[in-house]
Amino acid sequence: MIDLEKAMLDPTAVFDIPAEVLDTDELNRAQKVEILRRWEYDARELEVAEEEAGMAVRRPEMFGLVLKALKDLGATHDTEHSPPTK
């Protein structure tokens, strides 16, 4: 059984890849979108922090995978709460 509260706070603690969110029958569409939006925010934050620190982005494909999963659900990414890009 999926720990919904944990997934909402830290999707990577419950799912390995965004497609797993789509594949589960334990969540409704709204829950999946919320988890993926959180994942999107976290992935963007990590990407920005790594770029600012002059590090290579560890998982550059993750942000794209999250956006694809959101698109597959018919949702868009959350530009209102996404951190600004350079």
- The ranges assigned to domains in the chain are 27-75
pTM for the model stands at 0.76
Q: Note the pLDDT of residue 62.
A: 79
Residues of the chain with pLDDT under 50: 81-86
Residue among 46, 39, 48 nearest 8 (CA)? 39
**Token pair in block for residue 23:** 């594949």
Q: Note the pLDDT of residue 44.
A: 83
Q: Note the pLDDT of residue 84.
A: 40
Using CA atoms, how far apart are residues 3 and 26, in angstroms rounded to an integer? 10
Neighbours of 46 (CB within 10 A): 16
For the chain, the 3-state helix, strand and coil shares in percent, each to the nearest 5, are: 60, 0, 40
Q: Note the pLDDT of residue 77.
A: 53
